[in-house]
């Protein structure tokens, strides 16, 4: 029998013990031991007996096996598999993303928090069918859309949690009061802490699945049966029936006795989603979201652990649900940037989910209308199984998209922010009381400089990203530190229309009022959504048609359905295109595709229905109408975008073709920050297989009097970068005088 060794972590409350210790597993314990087991071990010189968790098992000893101590005994014989898997995941995270083991453990292990009891209000439909019909007719006639929305939802669900009504349905307390006064609904107050959302939905029956849906469901479930554990990527346009597919696959796994984790960006956790999952899985599904208190959240984990739940739905952190027998992880909208953590360890939930699934031997399924370049490439080369769902279930028409060249507008003497096309379409919609959304693309906005006449953009000659303006005259590359002076005239066409793009949403709102007097507007951006509830209030106000135009940043393009919106104006498609990082084109494509999908969701209303509702139209205003991201988005052609984009990534050896490690060095002392970054760059340069860029000032070179420097390291081999990271961490630990702070970000 070969020898077995265990890496054991002792105490996760103190950074001082941030390491594992290796012990030998005695023969008599071999059959009973597994990752995650709680064991007792002799520790230190006096061989004091203490407890520890096994995070890894191996047959290759780290030290001389003769000198390796034996595990003394097992404390918790039937310690859960789930804990073991999560501990292994933490160990993997530390290696893969850097930081301390304790930082990783704190991410994966649920934090014990006492559960506070909360008052829960449930709204229940109380009137009989006849009364309901009478009122519904009245509300329809008076066009009281908020009341109608609530009535329709309650007619489907019977009863609903108030939190859900105000947040996801965007219906306020006054509306509930109004219905209560008419005897239509009743408000029940209970004290509970178990189920964060309560309602009793009836399931909308879907009689026949589409052919695409069937083949995806069968493919994934039978693949799993046959032992094909390759992750699956579902590329399906919005409305192609992906959610239905997820639900059916989960149901198939649950029937076999497994549990499921469904990851979803918080913003996409809409009322409809909650309803659909609850209808199928009743009280065996739970939802994690930011409105839960830490206690409620912990309670959901306890329920999962004790076998009360089959399905957990939530953002990133739902991945760490300690299910006893996890069978499947599904990740919707897998391209979403919110899946990446911004704190150490800066893990990507997609990679972590893939790892966790492989630890469990579980299935892993991803879905998106605009898959990340990383995932689609893996699908192309066979690492992932690819499923395509190109058709909308409802057969809904995609909107008509016009691309407007802003350089031509300027040449024709139009200096306003609205092109002729957009202005005339806005007039048309306003005169027919249809709604408009104006999207100001400020994602990743940095102060790039461009020419409004010819579209020229200053770019770094070494990194092929756009340069940012610092102060008045100096242009900077955030990757390599390259600088160039800004000339008063365009280097390309010698016009004086060169400068930074400065328009903000507030300014756009002013201009809308100036050009369309009397128009009712709402604005949604960081400034108008500071307070709790602001976001929901704006959305519900717009849904209630209290405004004609909603102006906003990327917040407005995600997931909301406003049937009366028939025009989407994208004011400056270019802003995210020149955000100065390698994902700029990908994000632009995504945002434009999503934004375009917002218009015309309600479908055209037939003539004679009293109101007009036109087909969806979208105007993309841009200085780069020929850019492949803009062109592909206007044609809603993912394939085309992917081909060009992966080509550029290859040329620049950016992910996924190569890997990029960003090392951020922070120090209160400028000199120390500089010398530390020089040292670190030197360590990196010792390796011949990597390309080192920098050190340079970070995009924000100083925050709160802390100086920030960055070094970028490129290499085709991820493992190589992980080793360099280890070397840097070791080097810093050995320097007593180092007071600064270092963060690693892989494939930022």
Site for ligand ADP, rule CB under 6 A: 206, 208-210, 213, 236, 238-244, 393-394
Q: Map residue 400 onto helix, strand or coil.
A: strand
Residue 462 contact, options Zn ion, ligand ADP, none, Cβ 5-8 Å cut-off depending on partner type: Zn ion
- Residue 235 or residue 708: which is nearer to ligand ADP going by CB? 235
Residue matched to tokens 């957990």: 312
The number of residues that bind Zn ion (CB under 5 A) is: 15
C-alpha dihedral over 524, 528, 534, 536, to 10 degrees? 0
**Taking Cα atoms as reference points, which of 110, 104, 586 lies closest to residue 347?**
104
Q: Do 7 and 55 contact (CB within 8 A), yes or no? A: yes
Residue 51 contact, options ligand ADP, Zn ion, none, Cβ 5-8 Å cut-off depending on partner type: none
List, as one string, the DSSP characters of 175-212: HHHHHHHTTSEEEEEEEESS-SS-B-PPPPP-----HH
Question: Minimum CB separation from ligand ADP for residue 153, in Å?
Answer: 14
- Residue 214 or residue 739: which is nearer to ligand ADP going by CB? 214
Residue 306 contact, options Zn ion, ligand ADP, none, Cβ 5-8 Å cut-off depending on partner type: none
- Residue 318 or residue 465: which is nearer to Zn ion going by CB? 465
- Residue 81 or residue 242: which is nearer to ligand ADP going by CB? 242
Q: Do 445 and 579 contact (CB within 8 A), yes or no? A: yes
- Residue 427 or residue 487: which is nearer to Zn ion going by CB? 487
Residue 598 contact, options Zn ion, ligand ADP, none, Cβ 5-8 Å cut-off depending on partner type: none
Q: Do 120 and 194 contact (CB within 8 A), yes or no? A: no
Question: Minimum CB separation from Zn ion for residue 658, in Å?
Answer: 16
Question: Minimum CB separation from ligand ADP for residue 288, in Å?
Answer: 20
- Residue 402 or residue 497: which is nearer to Zn ion going by CB? 497
Asked whether position 456 contacts Zn ion by CB under 5 A, the answer is: yes
Question: Minimum CB separation from ligand ADP for residue 57, in Å?
Answer: 40
Rounded CA separation 700/707 (Å): 9
Q: Do 82 and 323 contact (CB within 8 A), yes or no? A: yes
Residue 410 contact, options Zn ion, ligand ADP, none, Cβ 5-8 Å cut-off depending on partner type: none
47 exposure class (CB count in 10 Å sphere: 0-12, 13-18, 19+) = exposed
Asked whether position 477 contacts Zn ion by CB under 5 A, the answer is: yes
Q: Do 324 and 307 contact (CB within 8 A), yes or no? A: yes
- The stretch among 22-30, 107-115, 486-494, 575-583 that binds Zn ion (CB under 5 A) is 486-494
Asked whether position 463 contacts Zn ion by CB under 5 A, the answer is: yes
**Taking Cα atoms as reference points, which of 154, 96, 167, 163 lies closest to residue 127?**
154
Put the strands of the sheet holding 474-476 in their side by side order.
Answer: 468-470, 474-476, 483-485
Out of 493, 519, 699, 701, the only residue in the binding site for Zn ion (CB under 5 A) is 493
- Residue 481 or residue 559: which is nearer to ligand ADP going by CB? 559
- The stretch among 134-142, 383-391, 413-421, 445-453 that binds Zn ion (CB under 5 A) is 445-453
Q: Do 67 and 21 contact (CB within 8 A), yes or no? A: no
Rounded CA separation 569/620 (Å): 6
Q: Do 635 and 398 contact (CB within 8 A), yes or no? A: no
- The stretch among 75-83, 254-262, 297-305, 444-452 that binds Zn ion (CB under 5 A) is 444-452
Residue 206 contact, options Zn ion, ligand ADP, none, Cβ 5-8 Å cut-off depending on partner type: ligand ADP
Vertex 214, ends 210 and 220: CA angle to 5°? 145
H or E stretch including 743?
A: strand 741-746
Question: Minimum CB separation from Zn ion for residue 384, in Å?
Answer: 32
Question: Minimum CB separation from ligand ADP for residue 634, in Å?
Answer: 21
Rg over alpha carbons for the chain, rounded to the nearest Å, is 28
Instruction: Look at strands 617-622 and 400-405 and give their pairing.
Output: parallel
Residue 239 contact, options Zn ion, ligand ADP, none, Cβ 5-8 Å cut-off depending on partner type: ligand ADP
Residue 241 contact, options ligand ADP, Zn ion, none, Cβ 5-8 Å cut-off depending on partner type: ligand ADP
- Residue 512 or residue 693: which is nearer to Zn ion going by CB? 693
Question: Minimum CB separation from ligand ADP for residue 554, in Å?
Answer: 19
- Residue 241 or residue 740: which is nearer to ligand ADP going by CB? 241
Rounded CA separation 136/185 (Å): 13
Residue 240 contact, options ligand ADP, Zn ion, none, Cβ 5-8 Å cut-off depending on partner type: ligand ADP
Stated length of the chain = 748
- Residue 26 or residue 390: which is nearer to ligand ADP going by CB? 390
Out of 344, 475, 480, 676, the only residue in the binding site for Zn ion (CB under 5 A) is 480
Question: Minimum CB separation from ligand ADP for residue 248, in Å?
Answer: 10
Residue 747 contact, options Zn ion, ligand ADP, none, Cβ 5-8 Å cut-off depending on partner type: none
**Taking Cα atoms as reference points, which of 396, 376, 400, 398 lies closest to residue 388?**
376
Out of 454, 508, 547, 681, the only residue in the binding site for Zn ion (CB under 5 A) is 454
- The stretch among 13-21, 106-114, 335-343, 475-483 that binds Zn ion (CB under 5 A) is 475-483
Q: Map residue 468 onto helix, strand or coil.
A: strand
- Residue 391 or residue 644: which is nearer to ligand ADP going by CB? 391
405 exposure class (CB count in 10 Å sphere: 0-12, 13-18, 19+) = middle
Query: How is residue 258 written in tokens?
Result: 């497994």
- Residue 463 or residue 690: which is nearer to Zn ion going by CB? 463
**Residue 729 to residues 2, 105, 683: CA-CA distances in angstroms?**
34, 18, 11
Residue 56 contact, options ligand ADP, Zn ion, none, Cβ 5-8 Å cut-off depending on partner type: none
- Residue 155 or residue 302: which is nearer to ligand ADP going by CB? 155
- Residue 184 or residue 454: which is nearer to Zn ion going by CB? 454
List, as one string, the DSSP characters of 435-466: EEEEE---TT---BEEETTT--B-B-TTT-SB
Question: Across-strand partners of 123?
Answer: 160, 187
Asked whether position 660 contacts Zn ion by CB under 5 A, the answer is: no
Question: Minimum CB separation from ligand ADP for residue 272, in Å?
Answer: 7
List, as one string, the DSSP characters of 526-546: TGGG-STTHHHHHHHHHHTT-
Residue 244 contact, options Zn ion, ligand ADP, none, Cβ 5-8 Å cut-off depending on partner type: ligand ADP
Question: Minimum CB separation from Zn ion for residue 415, in Å?
Answer: 16
Residue 690 contact, options Zn ion, ligand ADP, none, Cβ 5-8 Å cut-off depending on partner type: none
Query: How is residue 56 written in tokens?
Result: 């890894």
Asked whether position 713 contacts Zn ion by CB under 5 A, the answer is: no
Residue 262 contact, options ligand ADP, Zn ion, none, Cβ 5-8 Å cut-off depending on partner type: none
Instruction: Look at strands 363-368 and 232-236 and give their pairing.
Output: parallel
Contacts of 548 (CB under 8 A, 6+ apart): 429, 430, 433, 435, 436, 519, 520, 521
Residue 209 contact, options Zn ion, ligand ADP, none, Cβ 5-8 Å cut-off depending on partner type: ligand ADP
Rounded CA separation 340/710 (Å): 19
Question: Minimum CB separation from ligand ADP for residue 234, in Å?
Answer: 9
- Residue 101 or residue 684: which is nearer to Zn ion going by CB? 684
Which spans of this chain sit near Zn ion (rule: CB under 5 A)? Answer: 451, 453-454, 456, 460, 462-463, 477, 479-480, 482, 490, 492-493, 495
């Amino acid at each position: 029998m070969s020898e077995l060794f265990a890496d054991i972590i002792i105490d996760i409350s103190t950074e001082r013990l941030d390491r594992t210790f290796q012990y030998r597993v005695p023969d008599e314990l071999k059959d009973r031991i597994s990752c995650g087991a709680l064991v007792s071990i002799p520790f230190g010189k006096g061989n004091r007996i203490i407890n520890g968790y096994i995070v890894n098992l191996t047959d290759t000893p780290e030290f001389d096996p003769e000198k390796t101590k034996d595990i003394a005994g097992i404390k918790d014989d039937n310690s859960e598999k789930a804990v073991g898997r999560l501990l292994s995941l933490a160990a993997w995270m530390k290696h893969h993303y850097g930081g301390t083991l304790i930082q990783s453990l704190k991410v994966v292990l649920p934090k014990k928090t006492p559960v506070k009891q909360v008052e829960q209000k449930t709204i229940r439909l109380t009137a009989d069918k006849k009364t309901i019909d009478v009122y519904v007719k009245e509300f329809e006639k008076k066009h009281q859309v908020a009341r109608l929305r609530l009535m329709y939802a309650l007619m489907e669900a019977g009863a609903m949690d108030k939190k859900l009504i105000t947040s996801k349905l965007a219906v306020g307390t006054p509306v509930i009061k109004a219905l209560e006064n008419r005897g239509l609904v009743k408000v029940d107050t209970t004290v509970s802490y178990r189920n964060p959302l309560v309602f009793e939905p009836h399931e909308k029956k879907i009689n026949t699945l589409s052919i695409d849906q069937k083949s995806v469901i069968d493919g994934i479930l039978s693949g799993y049966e046959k032992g094909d554990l390759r992750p699956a990527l579902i590329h399906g346009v919005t409305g192609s029936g992906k959610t239905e597919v997820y639900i059916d696959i989960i149901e198939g796994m649950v029937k076999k006795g497994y549990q499921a984790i469904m990851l979803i960006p918080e913003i996409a956790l809409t009322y409809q989603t909650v309803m659909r999952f609850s209808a199928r899985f009743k009280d065996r599904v739970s939802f994690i979201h930011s409105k839960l208190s830490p206690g409620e959240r912990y309670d959901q984990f306890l329920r999962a652990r004790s076998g009360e739940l089959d399905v957990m739905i939530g953002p990133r952190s739902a991945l760490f649900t300690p299910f006893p027998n996890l069978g499947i992880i599904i990740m919707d909208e897998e391209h979403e940037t919110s899946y990446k953590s911004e704190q150490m360890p800066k893990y990507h939930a997609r990679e972590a989910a893939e790892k966790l699934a492989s630890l469990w031997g579980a299935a892993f399924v991803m879905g998106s209308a605009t898959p990340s370049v990383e995932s689609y490439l893996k699908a192309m080369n066979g690492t992932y199984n690819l499923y395509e769902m190109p058709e909308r279930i409802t057969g809904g028409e995609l909107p008509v998209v016009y691309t407007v060249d802003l350089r031509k507008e300027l040449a024709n003497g139009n200096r306003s922010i609205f092109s002729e096309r957009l202005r005339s379409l806005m007039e048309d919609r306003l005169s027919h009381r249809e709604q408009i959304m104006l999207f100001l693309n400020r994602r990743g906005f940095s102060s790039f400089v461009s020419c409004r006449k010819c579209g020229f953009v200053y770019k770094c000659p070494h990194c092929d990203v756009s340069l940012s303006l610092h102060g008045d005259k100096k242009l900077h590359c955030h990757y390599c530190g390259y600088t160039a002076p800004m000339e008063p005239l365009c280097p390309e066409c010698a016009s004086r229309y060169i400068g930074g793009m400065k328009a903000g949403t507030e300014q756009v709102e002013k201009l809308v009022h100036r050009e369309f007097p009397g128009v009712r507007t709402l604005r949604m951006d960081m400034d108008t959504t500071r307070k709790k509830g602001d976001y929901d209030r704006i959305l519900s106000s717009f849904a209630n048609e209290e405004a004609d135009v909603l102006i906003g940043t990327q917040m407005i393009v995600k997931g909301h359905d406003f049937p009366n919106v028939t025009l989407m104006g994208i004011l400056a498609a270019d802003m995210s295109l020149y955000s100065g990082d390698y994902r700029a084109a990908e994000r632009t494509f995504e945002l434009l595709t999503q934004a375009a999908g917002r218009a015309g969701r309600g479908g055209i209303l037939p003539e004679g229905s009293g109101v007009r509702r036109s087909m969806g139209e979208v105007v993309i205003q841009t200085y780069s109408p020929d850019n492949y991201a803009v062109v592909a988005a206007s044609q809603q052609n993912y394939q085309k975008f992917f081909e060009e984009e992966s080509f550029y990534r290859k040329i620049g050896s950016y992910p996924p073709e190569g890997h990029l490690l960003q090392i951020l060095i922070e120090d209160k002392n400028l000199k120390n920050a500089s010398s530390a970054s020089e040292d670190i760059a030197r360590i990196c340069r010792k390796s011949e297989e990597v390309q080192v860029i920098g050190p340079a000032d970070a995009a924000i070179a100083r925050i709160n009097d802390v100086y920030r420097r960055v070094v970028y390291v490129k290499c085709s081999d991820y493992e190589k970068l992980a080793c360099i990271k280890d070397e840097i961490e070791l080097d810093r630990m050995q320097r007593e005088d180092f007071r600064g702070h270092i963060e690693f970000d892989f494939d930022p």
